[in-house]
Amino acid sequence: MTEEKEIEEMMERVRKLELKARRLVRESFSGEYLSSFRGQGLDFDDFREYQHGDEVRFIDWNVTARMNEPFVRRFREERELSVIVAVDVSGSADFGSSHLSKRELSAEIAAILGFSALQNGDKVGLLIFAGEPVIFIPAAKGTRHLLRMIREVLMAKPVKRDTSIEAACNFLTRSLKRKALIFMISDFHAEVLDKPLGKLARKHELVALRVNDPLEEQLPKAGRVVLVDPETGFETLVNTGNANLRMAYKKLMTRQAEGVASIFKKHGIDTATLATDRDTIPGLHQLLKRRGRRRK
């Protein structure tokens, strides 16, 4: 395939992804994004009488008790929220047994989050990483800016194809001077997670979106197959017809997922697991509903 043909096909994928993401945001997502992430960085201005439609959480009960009628706190215009989408494009991200690879799923998630943020008036930036940070695009506004981000996620070709969550967290901790909302999209198949994620979560608001593929959870019964590690190139012959081996593999992957989940819980990191063979929106909905309930 010629380079021009490859670019043309890539741009067609970006355009289709833009249309899909815009539709999903318009139809079912932007309201929950607003309720989950609005009101960060509000500056108090004054009190005014409660009006129908005001949010109950802004009622000031001390003033209400003194005046014998409800008063709400009024705020100055919200400061812009910087949203950073950090996407893992390591070798394992290109795996997919369904209609999407994990990288394509990550690009779809990034597009949905990006258009939601832009609709909310927020700036959006991007970090692409694998064994090291690959590309960093500072937060900005605009559709062209966001489409460039999506294109970079789909086209990035890292030199180091392993996964270093540590390198990504260290880069963001050093580079972001003001508190930001960070969506980290990865399968989190990395050796060092606990300390770097904890350090980043203490400085910024961190949301972990774990992408996986059904074949990573359970091996199919397919006889003897050669498995290749996409990050190291290591090959091994495996007899998937062996029930004990399939069971051991399933237990290993379950323990790995539970270990990652315990790290997220330890550091108070909101999380959702999204799969290549399922619709993205329900998992994101559940995440934002949980956040919305807590904010109320």
Domains of the chain plus CATH, in order, are: 3-36+79-295 (3.40.50.410), 42-75 (no CATH)
In this structure, what token pair is assigned to residue 18?
A: 């833009």
Phi and psi, residue 66, nearest 5°: -70, -40
For the stretch 63-80, pLDDT in tens is 888 888 888 877 654 556
What pLDDT sits at residue 163?
95
d(CA 101, CA 230): 13
- Contact present, 181 and 204 (Cβ < 8 Å): yes
Question: Looking at the predicted structure, is the pLDDT value of residue 164 above 90?
Answer: yes
d(CA 238, CA 229): 13
Three-state secondary structure of 55-94: CHHHECHHHHHHHCCCEEEEECCCCCCEEEEEEECCHHHH
For the stretch 18-55, pLDDT in tens is 888 888 777 666 666 656 765 445 555 677 788 776 77
In this structure, what token pair is assigned to residue 137?
A: 């695009």
Q: What is the mean pLDDT of the chain?
A: 86
* Residue of higher predicted confidence among 74 and 227: 227
What pLDDT sits at residue 77?
45
Query: Is residue 137 very low, low, confident or very high in pLDDT (cuts 50, 70, 90)?
Result: very high
Question: Looking at the predicted structure, is the pLDDT value of residue 173 above 90?
Answer: yes
* Residue of higher predicted confidence among 209 and 118: 209
Query: How much of the chain, in percent, has pLDDT values that exceed 70?
Result: 88
Question: Looking at the predicted structure, is the pLDDT value of residue 120 above 50?
Answer: yes
